[in-house]
């Protein structure tokens, strides 16, 4: 007999009133772009309406458990600012929030469903097969006398519990994105709800949990769309209110293929390791399948929460475009405060610049407008720790109207000026060079070009002579100019 008192107690625990959404990842060890988008939309729907966002870990597939995988989920959500109101780590009114800790619940509900006539005990050998290939119309256990079935259960016979799908009629369910979908009941199989070991199948646990947790909007990938009619029949069988379904179309690599980690498509962690900013990834991912009104594309998380509207989620699959993400990323980098940029850039700067005397914040200033991804940084700074060996042909530059003898002359004259500058700051270094150009009656480039080549040894650098000299400091700048003079003099 079903434990009705216990069921009543559970019903009484269910929070009611506001919007409650849940992100229900299975711990796989990484966060797919598609999963991140589901988490984001789920969070946005809750936040948009002042509701609750719940984290539930769906770890029923014990065979696929990955060590540390739950931490990846916590870390990613926290990094992205998708804070949860209830979950395994923070608790909540309908704990526990980890499916493996809820195993005691499902059999009780399944027994109740049997009593309500929407499920039945099945003793057939082939019941081990949960794949759904079983023909319910042929299952002899479907028509067993309930008392007889109970007697066999009590006598210790092995059984599974199957859903009793009506043989006739049509099940219609509504999805917020896909509209009304109807399925002939005869196409649905009497799926297993409780396995021989007494544990639930994934589909059953999912429905029971969503109900017990008072979920109002079930947001998930459209691969679950085909399970929805059976879910609906379960809700109806229990007499429970059906939540709103929000099935999101997949994120694709191209027209025909879903993004997949196995095929080398990046996960959220991969993108971060490739130098993308979390905020840029989130903003881009938000627009993969959802479009705000108007042309605007750059949105903070808070702004997204205000704007987000389920009716603007698209039915069509979205294609992940790394170039577009890169564009978003550079926009985000440019929009950061210099202090924030310096903070995120520093680890990348230190990959290339080991000399602690060189100031990372100062270096960050020359990079902010010049990189699209943080991983662009190290290769741009390969001349700071040590002057690379360079060809004196670099001194010859048409546009700046420079030649080697002219450069040698400029370097010889600027060296004592630099040595005796009262202060080593941007204004003084700049003035030293522009004053010399003015006195010579030439363009500034004629002085700055040779200085920049001498101190960097490269034709292209982030930042010009002033910024680089300032970063290197007076001593190193003058040492490099002295080296340049020696190089050019040796050829003269």
Catalytic residues: 261
CB of 222 to ligand GLU, least distance (A): 11
**Using the rule CB under 6 A, which residue among 6, 30, 123, 224 binds ligand GLU?**
224
Query: Are 470 and 456 spatial neighbours (Cβ–Cβ below 8 Å)?
Result: no
| 203 near ligand GLU, judged by CB under 6 A | no
Q: Which is nearer to ligand GLU, 39 or 447 (CB)?
A: 39
| 55 near ligand GLU, judged by CB under 6 A | no
- Give the Cβ contact number of residue 363 at 10 Å: 25
CB of 94 to ligand GLU, least distance (A): 16
Q: How long a stretch of residues is the chain?
A: 492
What is the spatial distance between Cα 456 and Cα 382, in angstroms, rounded to a whole number? Answer: 9
**Using the rule CB under 6 A, which residue among 39, 58, 284, 418 binds ligand GLU?**
58
Q: Tell me the DSSP string of 448-481.
A: HHHHHHHHH--SS-SS-HHHHHHHHHHHHHHHHH
CB of 353 to ligand GLU, least distance (A): 42
| 211 near ligand GLU, judged by CB under 6 A | no
43: alpha, beta or left? (left if phi > 0; alpha if psi -120 to 50): alpha
**Using the rule CB under 6 A, which residue among 220, 230, 247, 480 binds ligand GLU?**
220
CB of 343 to ligand GLU, least distance (A): 33
Q: Which is nearer to ligand GLU, 206 or 368 (CB)?
A: 206
What is the spatial distance between Cα 468 and Cα 190, in angstroms, rounded to a whole number? Answer: 72
CA distances to 179, 446, 464 from 449, rounded to whole Å, are 65, 6, 9
| 206 near ligand GLU, judged by CB under 6 A | yes
Taking CB under 6 A as the binding criterion, the range among 18-26, 76-84, 155-163, 443-451 that sits at the site for ligand GLU is 18-26
| 34 near ligand GLU, judged by CB under 6 A | no
Residue 4: is it exposed, middle or buried by C-beta count within 10 angstroms (0-12/13-18/19+)? exposed
Token pair of 123 as six digits: 């003793």
Taking CB under 6 A as the binding criterion, the range among 7-15, 20-28, 146-154, 175-183 that sits at the site for ligand GLU is 20-28
What is the spatial distance between Cα 160 and Cα 171, in angstroms, rounded to a whole number? Answer: 24
Token pair of 482 as six digits: 């002295």
CA distances to 260, 433, 479 from 401, rounded to whole Å, are 53, 16, 25
What is the spatial distance between Cα 126 and Cα 133, in angstroms, rounded to a whole number? Answer: 10
Taking CB under 6 A as the binding criterion, the range among 19-27, 253-261, 321-329, 416-424 that sits at the site for ligand GLU is 19-27
**Using the rule CB under 6 A, which residue among 20, 21, 25, 251 binds ligand GLU?**
25
CB of 289 to ligand GLU, least distance (A): 16
CB of 261 to ligand GLU, least distance (A): 13
Q: Which residues bind ligand GLU (CB under 6 A)?
A: 24-26, 58, 206, 220, 224
């Amino acid at each position: 007999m079903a434990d009705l008192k216990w069921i009543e107690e559970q019903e009484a625990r269910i929070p009611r009133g506001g919007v409650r959404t849940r992100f229900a990842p299975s711990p796989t060890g990484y966060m797919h772009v598609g999963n991140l988008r589901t988490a984001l939309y789920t969070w946005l729907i809750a936040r948009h309406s002042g509701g609750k966002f719940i984290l539930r870990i769906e770890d029923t597939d014990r065979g696929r458990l990955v060590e540390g995988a739950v931490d990846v989920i916590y870390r990613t959500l926290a990094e992205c600012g998708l804070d949860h109101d209830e979950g395994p780590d923070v608790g909540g009114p309908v704990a526990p929030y980890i499916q493996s800790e809820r195993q005691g619940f499902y059999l009780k509900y399944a027994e109740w469903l049997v009593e309500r006539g929407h499920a039945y005990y099945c003793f057939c050998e082939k019941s081990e097969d949960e794949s759904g290939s079983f023909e319910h119309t042929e299952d002899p256990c479907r028509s067993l006398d309930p008392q007889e079935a109970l007697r066999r259960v009590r006598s210790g016979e092995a059984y599974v519990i199957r859903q009793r799908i009506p043989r006739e009629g049509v099940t219609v369910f509504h999805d917020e994105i896909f509209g009304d979908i109807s399925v002939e009941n005869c196409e649905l199989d009497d799926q297993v709800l409780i396995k021989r070991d007494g544990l639930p199948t994934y589909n059953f646990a999912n429905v029971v949990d969503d109900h017990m947790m008072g979920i109002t909007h079930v947001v998930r990938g459209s691969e679950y769309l085909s399970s929805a009619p059976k879910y609906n029949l379960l809700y109806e069988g229990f007499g429970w209110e059906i939540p709103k379904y929000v099935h999101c179309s997949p994120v694709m690599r191209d027209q025909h293929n879903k993004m997949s980690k196995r095929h080398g498509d990046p996960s959220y962690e991969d993108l971060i390791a490739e130098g993308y900013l979390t905020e840029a990834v989130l903003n881009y991912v938000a627009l993969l399948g959802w479009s705000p009104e108007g042309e605007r594309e750059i949105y903070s998380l808070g702004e997204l929460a205000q704007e987000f509207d389920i009716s603007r989620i698209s039915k069509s699959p979205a294609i992940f475009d790394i170039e577009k993400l890169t564009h978003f990323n550079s926009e985000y980098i440019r929009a950061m405060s210099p202090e924030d940029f310096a903070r995120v850039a520093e680890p990348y700067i230190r990959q290339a610049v080991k000399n602690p005397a060189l100031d990372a914040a100062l270096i960050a200033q020359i990079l902010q407008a010049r990189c699209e991804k943080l991983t662009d940084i190290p290769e741009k700074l390969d001349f700071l720790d040590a002057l690379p060996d360079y060809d004196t042909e670099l001194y010859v530059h048409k546009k700046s109207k420079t030649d080697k003898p002219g450069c040698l002359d400029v370097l010889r004259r600027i060296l004592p000026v630099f040595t005796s500058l009262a202060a080593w700051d941007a204004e003084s270094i700049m003035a030293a060079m522009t004053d010399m150009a003015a006195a010579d009656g030439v363009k500034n480039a004629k002085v700055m070009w040779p200085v920049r080549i001498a101190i960097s040894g490269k034709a292209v650098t982030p930042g010009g002579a002033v910024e680089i000299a300032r970063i290197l400091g007076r001593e190193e700048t003058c040492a490099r100019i002295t080296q340049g003079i020696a190089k050019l003099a040796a050829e003269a």
